[in-house]
Chains A and B, each alone.
Chain A
């Protein structure tokens, strides 16, 4: 039987629709969830199936609407609050950090806030400083928030369904470049548990951890490294809080070399956290990190291409870790989802 494939967008849409079918408490709200663009297609058709009460357009009030979603969650609903850009979630930090993350603990377990915040990160083309940020590390910092950043369509569906069964708030991070990526996704409902990484490919010379879109770039870098005789293991954490440090540390303990590649800044970032936790576990190994250049994101393509890590830079960094040779620079490996992207969104 041929495998069933969906795009990442379709996987999110299918998970949402199946959850809404199963559980009348699941509702979707956000600016743009009902328009013709439908959050890059992820909410397309939901309003026809579930109506305007359960698929609700919101005012431009991120803080207030996050509070509304929390209040609804306290009353027993399971809201999915969608932000077309993570940059806008900054306006909701008070509700997320002071209320959503703390309610269960601060109120002695008498209430829970089963809220899912979907936040789109990353480049498309020229989105610039305020439409491209990946601030997942801010959320990872706060106890009481879970953070997932699935890479494959399979994991997008499984993680979203897991979020919709969780007893507390989850930030669901989705990279714009992943929406069109196609992969195998079962039709039935399934869940990818929190805190369980996925080993995308095995290798013995270096461990590469790629977050979100960077997991794809790490896989391309692995091909380049193969050509140079370096065998790289690639791990997709999928869940950033809680982190599956067992899987990552076990791999790093074997390869003795760890490269963490984030689709975000490195300073105080997810890559810093992962690298430190691994070192605490396994002791002195060779560690390196890659992420956004430590500047706001520029819009000019000539600058943007140096802002984001890519397969070539990842391979070069891994190669340097593996044999100390810093001069090896591989050929470029195309990222079709980046190269073929057409805006404006």
Chain B
């Protein structure tokens, strides 16, 4: 299990570090919202899922897409605006999708995919299909009306959906305490009758264990569950760099999170040979994906008019 978790964490970290490295060359002419520092949430949750389960994410979904098994080459090609991208160059980083892997399309408007996850779960229930749906969103989404509408409906119909709030404490540059009156998001969800759990240590194993408990309950037919995971975004809201000098937060706040890096912690659980083998394979895969994106063709102009 540690090898699998480490491979997934390291792979996401490497992909995003490579995106950040490449970004200043303008090979990617579209916004990127990096998950660096937040990988454990997607990796822990997705490790509790079956292949047939479905996830809905946000514009910060590189980690979710990869953790759920989204195609890496198609992802990087999408960022590069190439016809081989997962959305054929029409979506970019904010609209990653891979239906074959159960990764449904992400949205750039906060909160908007939450009801879609619920609706997908409703369809699964009507068809008596055993799969479940995960809805991932950030702490900002809690403030959107549609979040509340979605929770109410999911509970009302006992739908097979796991809500996961990736709480990194910031909506763009605005801190949670400037935006929310309630003390705890997890507790707040309980107000809707949702069994709800908070994982506050950011560790991939604690998140996985909580996700296992929640998904097991859903698969037993106990209806929707809620999981809040504290996490921290290391980079700027959008773009490849750091922004600890921007004035809205300082590095001291990030330090405990960086010191508790789940990638490093999982690496330490493996012996050197096993770890090296994983890293070598992932490094080669990442290099291949960027080369694939680089050499892929741009979409033909006629593609502007297709799939409207």
A interface list, Cβ under 8 A from B: 27, 53-54, 58-59, 61, 63-77, 94-95, 98-99, 103-111, 143-144
Contacts and interface: CB of A to CB of B under 8 A. Distances in A.
Given A107-B87, A109-B306, A110-B86, 5 more contacts: A61-B152, A72-B126, A99-B112, A107-B105, A108-B307
Nearest to A91: B145
B146 interface: yes
Contacts of A95: 112, 115, 146
Contacts of B116: 67-68, 70-71, 74, 99
Contacts of B23: none
Contacts of A27: 126
Contacts of B189: none
Given A59-B156, A64-B153, A94-B112, A106 B105 contact: yes
Nearest to B119: A71
B98 to A, nearest CB: 8
B141 to A, nearest CB: 12
A110 B99 contact: yes
B126 A65 contact: no
Nearest to B161: A71
B104 A74 contact: yes
B73 interface: no
A109 B123 contact: no
Nearest to B114: A67
Interface of B: 56, 85-91, 95, 97-99, 104-105, 107, 109, 112-124, 126, 145-146, 148-150, 152-153, 156, 306-308
30 contacts: A27-B126, A53-B126, A61-B153, A63-B145, A64-B148, A64-B150, A67-B112, A67-B113, A67-B146, A68-B115, A68-B122, A69-B119, A70-B115, A71-B120, A71-B123, A72-B120, A77-B126, A95-B112, A98-B109, A104-B307, A106-B91, A106-B95, A106-B105, A107-B95, A107-B105, A109-B88, A110-B105, A111-B99, A143-B308, A144-B308
Contacts of B122: 68, 71-72
Contacts of B87: 106-108, 110
Contacts of B109: 94, 98
B149 A64 contact: yes
Nearest to B150: A64
Given A71-B123, A95-B112, A65 B308 contact: no
Contacts of A64: 115, 118, 145-146, 148-150, 152-153
A94 B124 CA distance: 24
B146 to A, nearest CB: 5
Which label, helix, strand, loop or mixed, suits the secondary structure of the B interface?
helix
A59 B156 CA distance: 9
A216 B152 CA distance: 43
A31 to B, nearest CB: 12
6 nearest A-B pairs in the assembled complex, by CB-CB distance: A71-B119, A67-B115, A64-B149, A75-B123, A71-B116, A109-B307
A141 to B, nearest CB: 14
A333 B91 CA distance: 54
Contacts of A110: 86-87, 97-99, 105
Contacts of A105: 90, 307-308
Nearest to A77: B123
A273 B285 CA distance: 52
A77 B124 CA distance: 10
B275 to A, nearest CB: 35
A159 B251 CA distance: 60
A72 B119 contact: yes
B81 to A, nearest CB: 12
Contacts of A59: 149, 152-153, 156
Contact of B126 (A54, A106, A143): A54
